[in-house]
Amino acid sequence: MNKLSRLRTVLRTSDDAPRRGGFMVLAAFCLIAALAFVSLCVDVGYLSLSKQRLQNAVDAAALAAAMEITNAVQTAGADVQNVTAYAESQARIKAVEVGALNGVYIDGNRDVAFGQRQVVDGNGNFQTTWGASPANVVKVTARRDNNDMAAPDSKLTLFFAGILGDKTASLTASAAAYVESRDIVCVLDYSGSMNDDSGYFSLGIRDRTLMEANMLDIWNILSGLRNTGALQFEPQWMSTTVNGSNSSGTVTFRNTQADLSTNKNITSVRLTFSDGSTQTTNYSNASNIRSLSNLERSSNPKRTINEVRATVTYPGYGTVQSASGSNSSRTANITFNGQSVSVSTSHTMASIRLNYAPSGNQTFSASGTSRTQSGNGSYISSVVVTMGTTSVTVNNPNGSTQPNDTQILTFSDSVANVRSCFSLNGSWPWSGGSWNDFIAYCRKESPYTSDTQITDAGYFRQYGGKCLVNYLQEKRAAFNQCNDLWRTPHYPFHSMKQGVQLFADFLEDLNFGDEMGLVCYATTAQVEHTLNYDGYNINLSANPICDQFQDMKQIIGHRQANHYTNTTNIGGGLKLGKELLDSSKRPGTRPTILLMTDGLANVRDNSYSLPGNWNWNELFDYDGDGTADYTTNDSFCRYALGMAKEAVDAGYTIHTLSVGAGADTNLMRAIAWLGRGIYIEVPGDVSVAEMEEQVLEAFNRIAAFVPPAKLVSEVE
């Protein structure tokens, strides 16, 4: 190695030693900075992740708690005294459960708050008032801020922050959720068929015993309000009594038979029938049928007996006749007058003796020259008058033996006799109909010759409460004809009324800001907003969709089947329901129609054709196979579907409820499918009590079918 090389080696060695020590110091400082940066990144990421987990948990808990309020109100038992408090307690429990499922601790008492969220203007702006009750909005807060590190809500322990100072951090997250308020229009069937289940229209469909028990309930109410004469609930045959001069009798008309009873012997009976023909029966041994009830039958069972003419014979007294007698210039003039005699003499009488046939006599003291003397009821064959010591005998010109009298008693199955029999001579209790018209209904006389309900029930030409209840419901059901039927439990209308009233109570108890309107339909449709009888003066016309639930309960409670008109215009009801929502719905709410019927659409407002772009396969493909599962050529159903589609296009939800065997279940299912709502069917082959229970449950389900809860964009 040369000198120059050694010098370089020495210089290199001497320079490297101090530089190596300086780098180590620099490296130490850089390592500390790097570790601080790494801890910051890790802990910030951990904090962010924990914050997001906390937020997700409270979001889920708030949504679940809001929906639980609805569920709790719906399922609260009869023992729950304060439904609002119960619903809030259940919502607290649900918030805690959902938080725990997401690994987050929520204190149900501290971290769950309730309030009311309400529309404040016409632009869809809302305001939340916390602490207001009943609640429709729930706020849930989750906290990690407890200094007790063993607590479930302890502060968050960081990974590296301890290097720089505090190794824990506090976190909180809040979320508020609400259930969207609804504007709900109930479109209700008021047609005449809504009382069919309480009358003989449903014979063969309903249990007759239960049906007639329901009719008895109706009868008890009506007969307690109005004068219905002597009608009994169970129909009775008409009986009429005829009183002759010396005989009487009673006939009970039983359609093709007649029960005849007289107080004298019957020798012949002539029956006159509805077709004008007659039938006569003679009785030769009259004494064998005296005072008996004898069933007279038509030889043709299709002929109704309209008149019974009975010939009766009985021991009589003959006609009123006078006769005279004399002895020793003393005379006596006698007038024989049935059971008594009138005596006139030429000299003062001492006594009068009445001789009876076939035997017996009575002697009476007498004075003066004239006297009327009654006997003992027996036939007087002769009279002996004593004047001093002289007696004069006068024989009865009618003979010495008692003669027979004959009398004809005529009994008529007439309207007048029916009214008399059942004490129906007072005024008819209601505006529509009359006692004569009701009697014609029971007798199938004009205009009811083709009506079969009374004959199907087995009460032809009988009269009673069952018949009257059926007559009113079938022939005089409108409010302006019989203004009392709204008071009675006639079905399915009564169950619908109770269902709507329960619906109103549920919305009021739930208090999610829902409002309600009423539309009724039959032949035509109208908005229900007024009640001005029975002591009420309710008028909601200025705001027909509102939260005046108690007023609406009274309005629907005072309505009856066929209240205005009779037929079933489902499309007309849907059309008016949509128009009511169009004009009265609130911004920011969920517009909803609840459609109910028990029958078939059988009328429409006017001629109607479905829109040109109507596609059955797109609208009613229930199973997704590309083919419609419902189509119809019925013009009335098409009108209903068209009106439903217009409501759907306006953004409205439609729920449907059908009741009874007569309802068009396919149409109602299709409308609910179209309206993205739920369809509930209450079948017709159940008892009235079961139907009522199921209808109430159906309205309860629909009321509880609230839109999914939504998070409030900014927690207030």
- Taking only the tens place, the pLDDT of each residue in 507-560 is 888 778 889 999 999 999 999 999 999 999 999 999 999 999 999 999 999 999
Q: Are residues 160 and 187 in the same domain?
A: no
Q: Choose one of 341, 373, 402: the last residue of a domain.
A: 402
- Res. 291 pLDDT band, cuts 50 70 90: very low
Quick count: other Cβ atoms within 10 Å of Cβ 282? 11
Q: Are residues 496 and 374 in the same domain?
A: no
Q: Are residues 358 and 278 in the same domain?
A: no
Using the predicted structure, report yes or no on whether residue 716 has a pLDDT greater than 50.
yes
List Cβ neighbours of 239 (8 Å cut-off, separation of 6 or more): 250, 251, 252, 253, 259, 421
475, part of any domain: no
Q: CATH code at 589?
A: 3.40.50.410
Give the mean pLDDT of 206-232.
95
pLDDT single digits (tens) 398-436 = 999 999 888 999 999 999 999 999 999 999 999 999 999
pLDDT single digits (tens) 368-389 = 999 999 999 999 999 999 999 9
Measured CA to CA, the distance from residue 500 to residue 593 in angstroms comes to 13
Task: Write down the pLDDT at residue 446.
Answer: 95
Using the predicted structure, report yes or no on whether residue 151 has a pLDDT greater than 60.
yes
Does 644 or 73 have the greater pLDDT score?
Answer: 644
Closest residue by Cα to residue 699 from 447, 558, 498, 432: 498
Bond into 358 cis (ω within 30): yes
Give the mean pLDDT of 265-279.
88
288, part of any domain: yes
Give the mean pLDDT of 478-498.
95
Amino acid at 611: P
423, part of any domain: no
Q: Are residues 330 and 292 in the same domain?
A: no
Residues in a beta bridge with 406? 313
214, part of any domain: no
Q: Are residues 278 and 333 in the same domain?
A: no
Q: Are residues 263 and 124 in the same domain?
A: no
Task: Write down the pLDDT at residue 75.
Answer: 79
Q: Choose one of 149, 178, 207: the last residue of a domain.
A: 178
Q: Are 469 and 461 in contact (CB under 8 A)?
A: no
585, part of any domain: yes
Secondary structure element (H or E) that encloses residue 530, with its range: strand 530-531
Give the mean pLDDT of 459-469.
98
Q: Are residues 279 and 334 in the same domain?
A: no
Task: Write down the pLDDT at residue 5.
Answer: 56
Task: Write down the pLDDT at residue 526.
Answer: 97
- Res. 282 pLDDT band, cuts 50 70 90: confident
Share of the chain above pLDDT 90, in %: 61
Share the mean pLDDT of the chain: 88
Q: Choose one of 131, 146, 178: the last residue of a domain.
A: 178
169, part of any domain: yes
Q: Are residues 265 and 345 in the same domain?
A: no
The domain containing residue 343 runs over which residues? 321-402
- Res. 641 pLDDT band, cuts 50 70 90: very high
Using the predicted structure, report yes or no on whether residue 586 has a pLDDT greater than 90.
no
Q: Are residues 289 and 346 in the same domain?
A: no
Task: Write down the pLDDT at residue 11.
Answer: 46
Share of the chain above pLDDT 70, in %: 88
Amino acid at 82: N
Task: Write down the pLDDT at residue 715.
Answer: 60
Q: Are 696 and 161 in contact (CB under 8 A)?
A: no
Q: Are residues 294 and 369 in the same domain?
A: no
How many structural domains compose the chain? 4
Helices then strands, counting H and E runs in the chain, come out as 15, 32
Does 119 or 185 have the greater pLDDT score?
Answer: 185
Q: Are residues 520 and 655 in the same domain?
A: yes
Burial 191-226 (b: 16+ CB within 10 A, else e): bbbbbbbbbbbbeeebeeeebbebbebbbebbbeee
Among the ranges given (446-450, 630-634, 644-648, 706-710), the one the predictor scored with the smallest mean pLDDT? 706-710
Task: Write down the pLDDT at residue 288.
Answer: 39
Q: Are residues 625 and 558 in the same domain?
A: yes
Does 369 or 699 have the greater pLDDT score?
Answer: 369
Q: Are 28 and 22 in contact (CB under 8 A)?
A: no
